[in-house]
């Protein structure tokens, strides 16, 4: 198999998902890089797998797009057979299977999160490089995550409501974008509950900790 050429498109990235009572908030920056070149400054790294299940993508853009396309198709078939929405755990297991079976060929770190009709609550699963699958109350990933472990440990609180989770995700991602040269652009958030998914967009000028803001 020929090797990918040097400077392949990848997502130097900051991604995050946080569970609250009745749903989840997922968020990501928007910078896609090719080596040191920013190939896309407003890419969308929050990909729907089903109506109430989203994933945050980090790693190779091509690999993660292929994985999510396959899993979306599988979940649609599974949902039709069940007659209801699939569980978040099922979506995470399908992503994990591909990531683990092809771990030597893929570069993909994915967070699966959404509203689980079976549990009637939100769920967050982290599938890092190598294909493990870990359920967590919140998860961070991508190159920018290395800068915000301390921030998240200090500021995460169990049982936060949806608004507190959105503020937590927005501040954490903004911190990562300010420190990580491979993260940047804008922040996209999706809040997922039993009523569906609501998207939000925050431009760089609206974010704290950025060089052109003083707060």
The first and second tokens of residue 116, run together, are 């689980």
- Closest CA relative to residue 58, chosen from 112, 6, 98, 7: 112
Secondary structure tally for the chain: helices H, strands E: 4, 13
Contact 31, 94 (CB under 8 A): no
Contact 67, 47 (CB under 8 A): no
Q: Which of 13, 47, 64, 191 is catalytic?
A: 13
**How far does the chain reach from its first CA to its final CA, in angstroms?**
50
Q: Rounded to the nearest 10 degrees, how much is the dihedral formed by the CA atoms of 80, 70, 28, 158? A: 50
- Closest CA relative to residue 85, chosen from 111, 48, 135: 48
Question: Is 13 annotated in the active site?
Answer: yes
With tokens 């967050």, the residue in question is: 124
With tokens 């946080």, the residue in question is: 18
Q: Which active-site residues does the annotation give?
A: 13
């Amino acid at each position: 198999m020929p090797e990918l050429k040097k400077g392949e498109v990848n997502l130097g990235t900051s991604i995050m998902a946080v569970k609250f009572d009745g749903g989840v908030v997922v968020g990501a920056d928007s910078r896609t890089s090719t080596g040191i070149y920013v190939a896309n400054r407003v890419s969308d790294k929050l990909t729907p797998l089903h109506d109430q299940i989203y994933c945050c993508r980090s790693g190779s853009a091509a690999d993660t797009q292929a994985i999510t396309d396959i899993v979306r198709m599988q979940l649609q078939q599974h949902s039709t057979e069940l007659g209801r929405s699939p569980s978040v755990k099922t979506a995470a297991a399908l992503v994990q299977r591909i990531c683990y079976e092809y771990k030597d060929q893929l570069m993909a770190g994915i967070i699966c999160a959404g509203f689980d009709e079976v549990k009637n609550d939100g769920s967050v699963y982290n599938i890092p490089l190598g294909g493990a699958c870990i359920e967590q109350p919140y998860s961070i990933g991508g190159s920018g995550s290395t800068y915000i472990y301390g921030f998240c440990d200090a500021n995460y609180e169990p049982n936060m409501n949806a608004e507190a989770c959105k503020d937590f995700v927005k501040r954490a991602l903004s911190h990562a974008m300010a420190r990580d040269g491979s993260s940047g652009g804008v922040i996209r958030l999706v809040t997922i509950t039993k009523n569906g998914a609501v998207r939000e967009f925050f431009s760089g000028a609206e974010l704290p900790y950025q060089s052109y803001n003083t707060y």
